[in-house]
Each structure stands twice: as C-alpha cells, then as structure tokens.
Amino acid sequence: MPDTSSRSLRIFPSRRIRGTVTVPGDKSITHRALLLATLAEGESRLSGVLTGEDCLATIRACQALGAEIEFLNATTVRVKGRDRKLLAPAEPIDCGNSGTLMRLIAGILAGQPFSSCLIGDASLSRRPMARILVPLRQMGARIDAKGPGELPPLEIHGSQLHGIDYRLPLPSAQVKSCLLLAGLFASGVTRLQEPIPTRDHTERLLRHFGLWPIFDNGQLVVHGGVRLHGHDLFIPGDFSSAAFWIVAAAAFPGSELFVQGVGLNPSRTGLLKILLRMGATVKETIESCETEPYGTLEIRGERLRGTRIRGEEIAQVIDELPILAVAGALAQGETIIRDASELRVKESDRLAALAYNLRAFGVPVEELPDGLIIEGGHPLRAASVQSFGDHRIAMAFAILALAADGVSVIEDTACIATSYPGFEKDFESLTQSEIPGWGERAFRQIGHRWARWAKESLEDPAEARFPVVAIDGTAASGKTTVAQELARRLDFAYCSTGVLYRAMTWKLLQMGVDISNRFRVARAVGKIPMDCWIENHQLKIRVGDEDPSPYLRDPEVNANVSLVASIPAVRRYLLPLQRKLARQAPLVMEGRDIGTVVFPKTPYKFFLDADPLVRQERRRQQGETDLLLERDQKDRERKLAPLKPAHDAVILDTTRTTVNELVETILRHLKRKGMNLQ
C-alpha cells in the first residue's frame, strides 16, 4: 500500500535554485499510453512511465480489463494489449484521485458489451462528471452517476454507441479524449469541435498506435471499429511537474536550472510564454519531435513582473495556474488570473485554496468567482498551510515557502505522490537552505536582513545563530525594564550582560585582587572559571561552583564594576561568553556595547538614554546607592568598547515615555526592520 498518511513538508528559506533536474514521466501521456496500449493488438513497451498514485490506478484498471502489464524496470512497462476485446472487470474500478482516469476510461467502458462501475476517493467523488455523461448519453451510453448531481460513482451499463457531432461546451482535454475513445467503439463517425484547443496527447498517441484521427474543417474525426497496433513509446518528463522548478528558478534572481528530457508539447508549455512576458529568461531546446516533442530547458532567475492571464491562454496552463499564482506573488506588481472558474472543480477548489494559502504567507490577494488578483512583491512571512489534499497546491506552496522569512510547513503532502514521486528529493538537491540546522521557532522571528546576517555569521562560528535584539544605553535609562518586557513580548530570552561584569567584579573583590592594577586583574581573570548559559529564558551564571547572583548589587560591586569593565582582559574574557548565548536562544541582550562590539551585525539595535536627573531619581527610588553618572562617565571614557550608540542604532529618549510606549516603539522598529512578529 502506498503511504497515504498525511505527511508534511518543512521548508527552509532558500532564494536560489541551482542544478539539473529530470522530472518523472508525463502524467497525461502515461494515462493515455496505458489505456491505448491496452486497446491495441500486440505488445507495447512504455518507458519513462510515471509511477505516481494516479497512474498506478490506471495500471490496475487496465489489468482489471485484461491487459497483461509487467514492470521491466522502475519506469518501463510492457503492456500486452487486448486488441479491443476487453474483459469485464470483476469489481468496481477504483480511479483513486484521478479525474483523467475516470473520465477517459468511462469513454471506453460506455461502448463495451458488459457493465462496470467506476469509483474514486473523496476528492474525485466531488468532481463533475456531467461534462462527459451528457455527450456519452447522446452517443447511446447508459450510465448512472450514483452521487448527488451526477457525481461519481459511475455505473456503466455497456451498450452499442453511435457516433455524434459534438461541440465541446468548455475546453477540456479529458472530455475530448473520453469522446475520442468512445468513438473507437461507436458505429459510424464521431466528430468533435473544441471551442479552444486543449492538450493534444490523445490525438498524438492515437496516431502513434496506428490510427490517424482526421482534422476536417476544424473538427476532429474518428471512425468507429478501427484497430490500434502496439508500439513502443518513450514518455518524456511531465512539464507540469517541471513547472514548479521552472517558476522557482525564473523568479529567484541568481538561479540557474536545467530541466532535461522534459515534454515540450506546445499545447502544454503556455507557462513559458507567460513567464517570458513576466521578464523570465528561458531557453528551450527541442531534441526530439517523435510523437511527443521533448528536450531541455534552461532557466535563469530574474526579477519578474506581474501579468494578466485570461481567455484562451487559461486552457494552455490549466495545471500550472497554482504555480503561476505563486509566480505572481513573487513578481513585482499585480498579477490577474481570470476565466479560470474550472479551477474550482479540480483536485480541490484551487482558487479558494490559492487565495487562502497566499494570504497565510502575507500576500494580498482578492478572490474572484473566476480568478485571482495577486499583489506581488511583498515580503513573505513563514506560514503553516494545508495542501487541501491537492498535489499541485502542496508543491506550489513548497516553492513559495522558499521566499518566506522562516521555516514554513505544508501539511498533508502525501498527495504529492499522485503526480511527482521524488519531489522531496529533487527539492533538496535544487534548493540550498540558507541557514542549515536552524531552530524553527527562532527562525520564525527573523526577517530578510537577519537571514542575511545570520548567513554571514555562520561563517564565523563564534557569532550568533539566533536573532539578538541589542538594548544598549546609559545606567538607569530604563534598559532593564524595557528589555525584560520586550523579551516577554517576543518570547526571547532576556539577558543582562552587566551581571557578567558584576559577577567578575564580585569575584575579583572576593579574591582580594587589586582592581586598580590591570595587570594583576588580567592574571586573576585567567584563573576565574566563569560560565553562563540560558535556562528558562533567563541568564544563569556560575563562578566555579558558586552562584554569584545574591551579591551582584552590593555597594562594593556598584562602586568597582565600571573600573573592572574598562580592563581589556575582562572584556576579552566575557566576549565569547556573551556570543555563545546567542547560539542557545533568541535574545534580548542588554548592555553597553552589544550593538557596537558583541553583535555588531544584528540589525536590531536600540540605545536608550534619559535626562541624568531623571535617571538618578529612578535609582534612588530603587533604593540603590549607585553613583551612576560617574559610572556612565567612566563607561564613556574607557578606550575599549566605550558606551556609545552604534551608528545604526535607534536612539530612544526614555525621559518621558512609559515602558509600554517604549516597547511598542521598539516592536514597530523591529517589524520595519524585517522581523516577523506574530
């Protein structure tokens, strides 16, 4: 049994696609080749067969009708055809999720001298069948749709069909194919007229198996009773599967992708025309034109611009509209999709699914009865979205998630196997996650700028892994209260670095080291076994096996800490300890030199200051004996890491603002700087 459990995909951001890919065989061609080889006399060896769930259902269906099908290797089958004489299936034929199978095989079964039943999964059981039932009944078919409103299951009572002249009311390659297949078993001639041309695989394959459907006056003509002859066939890669990589590579500047052995039937490659219009760079090389053209595509990433997709074009890109909607979200400006109400009755209501999921990623989108208006080019936030059981929705959003600002999750992705087994493997080889091994929760908090910074930082293992908000400033400027509240709001760890300097001061005093002698201090510091880490969102310190926290605000410590903090050996000692913390948790880190020295690359830097008298009063109210103005003076004057705002810090005057106002201001700045706040 295939794995039908609802798996999920976790997608790390990566804005570049690089490499070469060969996608699995074409789904449409595989279905049709299997059915026609079953009807033909003799053997057909089909290579490049798609072994996704949908096509496996077709193999089982063909076997149920008496075809002998044997796998010669993973993607090659030998089909011994029935020369039109099918067996009555013993049981209902399960079409699984495949609308193509149900609609095409219904055309074959309608004209057989036996009865049969077609069933499908929950999604297929909601897909409209009236579009085939109406013309088939005109041909004399007796079919009962057992579901409400002509929905599956279909009970087919075999009967003698007769040819009809039929103009398809809507463009549908499945309806066209169904009627062509029914026409093979009908008396007389079946003539079909399409309002808009749709994919022509059935016509090409009929030709491949020896029957030449004639084009006569814009009509497609088949004669009943003709024989098909077995023939080997190579099935090229599915353009609709390649479409996910094509769009990703086209939309991410700096990408370079080669797609090899991919089907390039012009009735399928409408996507390329649209991408070119959007500003993409695509080179198409056709290597073979036998039955189905195929070749290589070369795509280079550019900044795309929005476009309009409507009218006749829709039929050419019907399966690609989900990924085209994603292209629209990644492009600059507006993309409008109209005349696509057919999407509402695909494997899911694709218009609703697209609108819902695009919004989850932060894309402004308007859902219309027959399309979407997508405002592209907005920064995307990481999201957790549903596939709605639809393989193309799942894959389209896996691509969009590459551009998000953190780890996204696509739920319920087992459906991808219906058309693209191996998608995950190709995904891994073509995308390179920007930040390997990233903690998900923390990553959700970061924005584009930080992602860039983090990448640089990783090259220096001493540097941060998680986002750090630096809160520097003068003593009693409100840093601690603001930083603590901010950490609470962000769910980051709060971390005051002053306590490290205080712990060091306490220990030096305890050891009786002459603090005014920086050489003695330097020597003593080397012997102090100090460590710190994050526990329960808090900074913990140990000096040997002692916990210094009860002594950190002793008057003696207050009086000496600035001096100790000015000694280079102390700062050198504490620097890696502070940086290490950012490898443990996302931090709001309070201090004097966090933005200038400890984490100079974080884009989230704030410097708090207030009127000195107000600050003094604050300390007095806290009941502390702290000569803070003198400390500030010393902190400012020291040579190493003096107290000063980083050039890119946001400076906030806290004299007359409340803590809440300050925190809100900081949150606004963080958002503007690209941090993803939920």
The secondary element (H helix, E strand) that includes residue 414 is none
What is the distance between the alpha carbons of residues 295 and 601, in angstroms, rounded to a whole number?
Answer: 46
- Of residues 564, 614, 555, the one with CA closest to residue 592: 564
What is the distance between the alpha carbons of residues 369 and 443, in angstroms, rounded to a whole number?
Answer: 37
Tokens of 642: 């003096």
Q: Which of 67, 206, 515, 561 binds ligand DC (CB under 6 A)?
A: 561
Q: Which of 109, 164, 565, 649 binds ligand DC (CB under 6 A)?
A: 565
Q: Which of 562, 602, 654, 676 binds ligand DC (CB under 6 A)?
A: 562
What is the distance between the alpha carbons of residues 247 and 275, in angstroms, rounded to a whole number?
Answer: 8
Query: Is 348 known as a binding-site position?
Result: no
Tokens 């459906």 sit on residue? 415
Tokens of 113: 């001298």
Does 631 sit near ligand DC (CB under 6 A)?
yes
- Of residues 464, 468, 465, the one with CA closest to residue 487: 468
Binding to ligand DC (CB under 6 A) within 421-480 occurs at: 475
From 6-14, 184-192, 530-538, 558-566, span contacting ligand DC (CB under 6 A): 558-566
From 318-326, 349-357, 590-598, 616-624, span contacting ligand DC (CB under 6 A): 590-598
Q: Judged by CB, which is closer to ligand DC: 375, or 635?
A: 635
Query: Is 174 known as a binding-site position?
Result: yes
Q: Number of residues in contact with ligand DC, rule: CB under 6 A? A: 15
Catalytic residue among 26, 94, 121, 319: 319
Strand order across the beta sheet in which 43-47 lies: 68-73, 76-80, 43-47, 233-234
Site pattern 473..502 for ligand DC (x: CB under 6 A): --x--------------------xxx--xx
Q: Which of 84, 465, 592, 605 binds ligand DC (CB under 6 A)?
A: 592
Least separation in angstroms between CB 662 and ligand DC:
17
Decide if 261 contacts 47 (C-beta within 8 A).
Answer: no
Angle between helices 555-565 and 628-637 (to 10 degrees): 10
Q: Are strands 165-167 and 605-609 parallel, antiparallel or unpaired?
A: unpaired
Least separation in angstroms between CB 250 and ligand DC:
47
Least separation in angstroms between CB 661 and ligand DC:
22
> Is position 94 annotated as part of the catalytic site?
no
Does 593 sit near ligand DC (CB under 6 A)?
yes
Q: List C-alpha distances in Å: 93 to 122, 177, 182.
A: 15, 19, 18
Q: Say whether the peptide bond before residue 197 is cis (omega within 30 degrees of 0).
A: no
What is the distance between the alpha carbons of residues 111 and 186, in angstroms, rounded to a whole number?
Answer: 7
Query: Is 478 known as a binding-site position?
Result: yes
What is the distance between the alpha carbons of residues 604 and 98, in angstroms, rounded to a whole number?
Answer: 51
Query: Is 47 known as a binding-site position?
Result: no
Q: Are strands 408-411 and 384-386 parallel, antiparallel or unpaired?
A: parallel
Does 515 sit near ligand DC (CB under 6 A)?
no
- 277: burial class by Cβ within 10 Å (0-12, 13-18, 19+)? middle
Query: Is 28 known as a binding-site position?
Result: yes
Least separation in angstroms between CB 374 and ligand DC:
46
Q: Judged by CB, which is closer to ligand DC: 414, or 503?
A: 503
Query: Is 346 known as a binding-site position?
Result: yes
Tally of CA atoms within 13 A in the half-sphere of 482 that contains its CB: 30
Number of other residues whose CB lies within 10 A of the CB of residue 386? 21
Least separation in angstroms between CB 649 and ligand DC:
14
Q: Judged by CB, which is closer to ligand DC: 423, or 607?
A: 607
Tokens 């026409």 sit on residue? 183
From 221-229, 585-593, 645-653, 660-668, span contacting ligand DC (CB under 6 A): 585-593
Least separation in angstroms between CB 473 and ligand DC:
9
Decide if 595 contacts 645 (C-beta within 8 A).
Answer: yes
Query: Is 307 known as a binding-site position?
Result: no
Query: Is 99 known as a binding-site position?
Result: yes
Residue 577 identity: L
Does 393 sit near ligand DC (CB under 6 A)?
no
Tokens of 151: 């929905």
Does 609 sit near ligand DC (CB under 6 A)?
no
Q: Which of 53, 313, 405, 635 binds ligand DC (CB under 6 A)?
A: 635
Decide if 475 contacts 628 (C-beta within 8 A).
Answer: yes
List, as residue ranges, the binding site for ATP: 473-481
**Binding-site entries for 3-phosphoshikimate:** 27-28, 32, 172, 174, 319, 346
* Binding-site residues from annotation: 27-28, 32, 99, 127, 172, 174, 319, 346, 350, 392, 473-481
Q: Which residues are catalytic?
A: 319
Q: Which residues bind ligand DC (CB under 6 A)?
A: 475, 496-498, 501-502, 561-562, 565, 591-594, 631, 635
Binding residues for phosphoenolpyruvate, by number, are: 27, 99, 127, 174, 350, 392
